[in-house]
Amino acid sequence: MSERRIMITGGGGFVGQALVLGFAELGWQVVAIDLAFDGPPSHARVQHVVADLSEGERVEAAGVDVIVHAAWVTTDPATLGISGAEYRTKNLAPLETALSLATQCCPGAFVFVSSSGVFAADDAEGGLSDAHVPTGSSPYAVTKLRGERLVSVWGNERPTRAYVVRLGYLFGPGEAVRPSRQSVSLVARWMEDARAGRPLEVRADDPRREWTFTPDLAVALERLIADPSPQGPIHLGSPHVLTDSDVAECVAREIPGTTVVTRRAHGRVKPPMIPSEVPALRDLEWTDPSAAIHTLVGVEAVA
């Protein structure tokens, strides 16, 4: 049996790096595409390719079994000092290039990494299920939704199975600020504050969120793409739903002397995303947030 090959765009970013390393550890040969990488490949099965997909730069995709498009500019256009139209181009042009590559090499599956950020805070009360229609109006939400539709239409016209996966609140190793992602997760922020001896600030309304440890993503995605029948946008994430204070307390327990305080809440937080009922994922053991934070603190202490 020949080795499976996967191409991951945005392979130098937070989510992309997690997928690159995760698939390499699962035995895949990984081609990671990005504008820049923070260091050399961290695994013998990984190949780094520097390319600008927004300019339509071509990369060799022959023999690739799966393409995962994780490249995305999450920083809002106002912060970047660009227009909404420029922001859309920065995100959709690389996606169109990736789809063009997939059209040429015809992999078994194409995965578009979307987000629960397509939803607005009032799209649901108890939890965001597959049945809820996203109404997010931010540039990020609107552009992600356009990407979802583009991939769905493309998939209807091709033999390649097209998957749209929505990720929620993520945390894990390797988080860093990049031009395309100028903020980090709450967990990373709390860990930085705890290390610096600062109290961990939690919103006074203490929202509930689903917390997904990024090393789980490759395992989940490998199972998903083995399913021959992709169905609509799939909510791919942990079933572990905790309040902000619960998770902040997990960090505080790992770093002695840390305190948790409340601060005034501004705006509403969207409810947690309910994982899709996909048979391939029913028995998947998602890492408990407390165990994940224990692991994360240990890894960073060694580093």
| Domains of the chain by residue range | 5-170+213-237+271-278
Token pair, residue 141, equals 């939400």
Please list, in sequence order, all residues whose beta carbon lies within 8 angstroms of the beta carbon of residue 2, skipping any fewer than 6 positions away: none
pLDDT of residue 230: 65
Token pair, residue 38, equals 């923070």
Q: Which of 239, 222, 280 has its CA nearest to residue 129?
A: 239
Mean pLDDT for 135-157 is 96
pLDDT grade for 302, boundaries at 50, 70 and 90: very low
Q: Which residues of 191-201 are buried (b: 16+ CB within 10 A; e: fewer)?
A: bebbeeeebbb
* 243, 208 Cβ separation under 8 angstroms: yes
pLDDT grade for 178, boundaries at 50, 70 and 90: confident
Q: What is the pLDDT of residues 254-281, one digit of tens each?
A: 999 999 999 999 999 999 999 998 888 9
pLDDT of residue 60: 86
Question: Which residues on neighbouring strands pair with residue 186, listed in sequence order?
Answer: none
* 220, 168 Cβ separation under 8 angstroms: no
Instruction: Please classify residue 73 by burial: count the beta carbons closer than 10 Å to its beta carbon, then call 0-12 exposed, 13-18 middle and 19+ buried.
Output: buried
Token pair, residue 289, equals 């947030």
Other beta carbons within 10 angstroms of residue 249's beta carbon come to 19
3-state secondary structure of 68: strand
* DSSP H or E segment with residue 244: helix 244-254
pLDDT of residue 300: 61
Q: Which of 215, 264, 284 has its CA nearest to residue 23?
A: 215
Q: Which of 158, 141, 43 has its CA nearest to residue 99?
A: 158
Is the pLDDT at 1 greater than 90, yes or no? no
Token pair, residue 92, equals 């959709």
Better-scored residue on pLDDT, 57 or 8: 8
The architecture CATH gives domain 5-170+213-237+271-278: 3-Layer(aba) Sandwich (3.40)
